[in-house]
Structure 1
Amino acid sequence: MSLSSSLQNYISDLGLVAPEQPSIKFVRALQSAHVARYSFNSLAVVLGEEISLDLDAISQKIVTRGLGGYCFEHNKLTFELLKALGYDVQLKLARVLNNNFEREAGRTHRVTLLTLEGVSYLVDTGFGGNGPIAPLRLDINTSQTAGLDLYRVLDKGNGEYDIQVMKGEEYFTLYRFDHAIYSDADCALGHFYSYKNPNAVFLKNLMVTLKRKNQTVVLVNAELTIRDCQGEHKLSIDTPQSLGSILASEFDIALEPAVVEHLFIRFLAPMLAVDKVETMS
């Protein structure tokens, strides 16, 4: 089986070997290794960089340079590898809800629907801290454990499905996808909105996440959250130096000091100022 250099670099960097025959064991290993190694983040978006959805460009950015990315990048890389390995995969788009059922949500999230031996799975390597580290079977209303988290899939009718994660003692709806046929052209529209529209969440927040089997590390603006089997620990980031140190130590992302200072002034300083006012009042 011959893979392009971009896909071979991807699979080799994760320490995996292409299976002789499609197997769900390989998909589990791929998804788990991917979300633990390549960060989900909004860095390129908030820095105003052009984000290409060309496969070679994605591989160069995520695998070679270690800069991570967001769903349209992560999930395309995973989709193209599985497709090249002979898996039955379909590109799907989803509406991100985050438990808000009142607002209208466009299809701004890319996922992969995989079918193997008559069983359908949702594969998602690009949803950050709440995303699964393993494929989810489309077993309706059945709890499924993936790492530290518990998920379930709900059938909403009309070919739509909700992906939910347990938060506290209740399920929280992450996103809703359907069985319509989508292409890279559809992804281009959602991608353009996600990193160009001033109302897009990625333009308003600095977000970086890595998700391992027993630990989730999430940076959102001025707060770092580390969750593991022992519970949740939060740390407030109050200097550019600490921001740069955390990006390097927790996410293996090394940025120029001037870039880190820019990010701090834009996203962290305003929130720290609000916190200070609230503390004094």
Structure 2
Amino acid sequence: MAMWMRFVWLTFGLLLCCGGTGVYCLEREAFLTLANGVECHTQQLGEAWTSGSHAACSVECMVRYPETCQSILYNVDTKTCTPGAVAFAPVPRVNTSIPVANSRDLFYYSSQPVPPCNTSSGDFALYELCGTTVCLNLVFEKASFYDARANCTSMDSRLFIANSLVRFSVFWHVSLTHFNWYTWLGLTDLTTEGVFVWDHGEPLSAEQDKYIWSDGQPDNHGDEDCIIARHLRSGLGNGINDDDCWRKRYYICEPNNAYKAK
């Protein structure tokens, strides 16, 4: 376990002139975590620059990328500042993330908003990974895809939708840590063979299609239309592949109204 340090990033004001007609102040407060780069990665937003400190680096990152700056890499020796997007834990087949292996960069990331989560029943709980927190119900009783989906629906929830790199990272590591076995995703090609759609109606993006699949998958072997995570304990290697929807697997529910899947 790496040692993480929690601290206030900074509160700062920017004076922005609008056509010479007035001045307004934009304040932003954020919290950063210093993490071991092996545990958390990010996607680089743009070219690096030289900055006198990690604090100055973070301010400049938010000025240059006000909507997307969520992390920074800072090298104390070279004073190099690299802007980053939302942090995530490494996943198989994603080899474009930073920091690179054996990097001397310090990696700081901000935490994302915590979604609402009704934990009173004991079914749902909050899980945090690299600054992203999700509300989940991990179901340890195996079920077919159809029964798993129906059970999630009965709890005003849905099978987990991993429709971004960050959300896929959360799903991958939570299912690996707690199940380490086949786990259903809210993704199928039940309507049209070969056209994969998340349970909330969004098609699988071309970007995700490049990295989520195991080698040789999906193969529609035996008319497989539902999608699982396949972890090492299965003996078949890591990755995502299509599966027979009637097979019984573990699954994860997320509340319908917790937040929009992005």
Same fold (TM over 0.5): no
TM range (shorter): under 0.3
Q: Which of the pair has more CA radius of gyration? A: 2
The structure with the greater share of residues assigned to strand is 2
Q: TM-score with structure 1 length normalisation?
A: 0.25
The structure with the greater share of residues assigned to helix is 1
Q: TM-score with structure 2 length normalisation?
A: 0.27
